[in-house]
Amino acid sequence: MIMRDVRELLLPHIRKLTTYQGVDPMEVLAEQAGIAPENVIRLNGNENPYGPSPKVIEALGNFRQYNHYPDQNQRQIREKLAGYLNVHPDRIVVGNGSDELIDLILRIFLAPGDNIIIPVPTFGMYSFSTEVCGGETITVSRDENFEIDVAAIKQSITSKTKIAFLASPNNPTGNIATESQIRSILDTEIIVVVDEAYYEFCGQTALSLLDEYPNLIVLRTFSKWAGLAGLRVGLGVMSPDIARSIMSMKPPYNVNLASEIALTVSLDDLPTLTGRIEAIVAERERMMGLLQNVHGVWPWASQANFILCRLPDGRGQEIFEGMCRRGIFPRYFNNAILQDYMRISVGFPEETDRVIEVLSDLVGR
């Protein structure tokens, strides 16, 4: 028997999928630049340079029951989060990173052929996960200041539109969605996901709208503020009906015991983590001032832990590659809107100083 090409068995939308471009591991970056991993300045993933709370590291090493399955109902961690967020635990679902919640939300609302709406530029996972579900993405351009064009979003909604994703603060532009923008889109009665991955760096939240709008879902993550990107801890807050529905269809053990411990101990060590958030916010403001003084670089004011910079016309990729060769890795987006932009995460002060030095040199050529 001659086996036919197994690829023919794949669903058509999976066969033509464009893979999400995540950040490469440290060793890969080091090899690219031909330098030692410890000399790499990694500013492409909005990670927390301070790492997790030291108490998290200690608790993970001391725990002995990794042979047990975690609680599929997430009782303890939902209870713990309810206290932190000041919402009822029935409204909370915890995920393997907030990326998993994006996927789960799409899977309960989106049938093949349905669509989502996103103001662009924004986070890449919304359209990627939509593609995986066989759905389509309607993109609506932000205005010249990267503000959301609410009227254009409303006009673009069709009978097949199920969800709008609004990142606030937005990645990669750093600005927030205002309450009135969020309300206007909620009033259309489609599901509105407000992704607050950077909430702890700005303090603005849509949580208070939950009682009024059962079609609102707020996402949070421990990846950025709590330094847990590698442990995958994210969550959604939503109407109890949607939460129950996601709890009933999610992979039962989606949050592992190490993630549960890291979440719990992080919330028990808020003073340490809050101190670091304050240091990152202060460093963001210092970096902003320094970037404003680099001739040919136009930084965008940010409420998150990164800054988007515009570079001289036609020179985005060249300047990005120049930085990588010198061991600094910012994020470059190879698309039409952001060709001459670069997003730089806020790292340690000495990393900022090196960024400014190298950037001034490259742009000045």
Ligand X SMILES: *Cc1c(COP(=O)(O)O)cnc(C)c1O
Binding site for ligand X (CB under 6 A): 46, 97-99, 123, 167, 171, 195, 197, 221, 223, 229, 234
With beta carbons less than 8 A apart as the criterion, state whether 89 and 234 touch: no
| Cα–Cα distance measured from residue 162 to residue 110, given in angstroms and rounded to the nearest whole number | 7
Shorter beta-carbon distance to ligand X: residue 174 or 327: 174
The nearest distance, CB 126 to ligand X, in angstroms, is 9
Which is it for the CA torsion 115, 120, 124, 126, positive or negative?
negative
Quick one: 294 or 305, whose CB is closer to ligand X? 305
DSSP per residue over 121-187, as a string? S--THHHHHHHHTT-EEEEEE--TT----HHHHHHH--TTEEEEEEESSPTTT-PPPPHHHHHHHHT
- The CB-of-130 to ligand X minimum distance in angstroms stands at 14
Tokens of 283: 């460093």
CB of 323 to ligand X, least distance (A): 21
Residue 147 or 357: which CB sits closer to ligand X?
A: 147
The DSSP output letter for 200 is: G
Of the two residues 198 and 213, which places its CB atom closer to ligand X in the complex?
198
| Closer residue to ligand X (CB): 308 or 362 | 308
Query: Do residues 124 and 19 lie in contact, with contact meaning Cβ atoms separated by under 8 Å?
Result: no
Amino acid, res. 190: I
Name which of 205 and 221 has its Cβ closer to ligand X: 221
Minimal distance, residue 364 CB to ligand X, in Å:
31
Q: Considering the complex, what minimum distance in angstroms separates the CB of residue 129 from ligand X?
A: 11
Length of the chain as a residue count: 365
Residue nearest to ligand X (CB): 97
Give least dist CB 345 to ligand X, A: 10
Q: Rounded to 10 degrees, what is the CA torsion of 202, 207, 208, 214?
A: 150
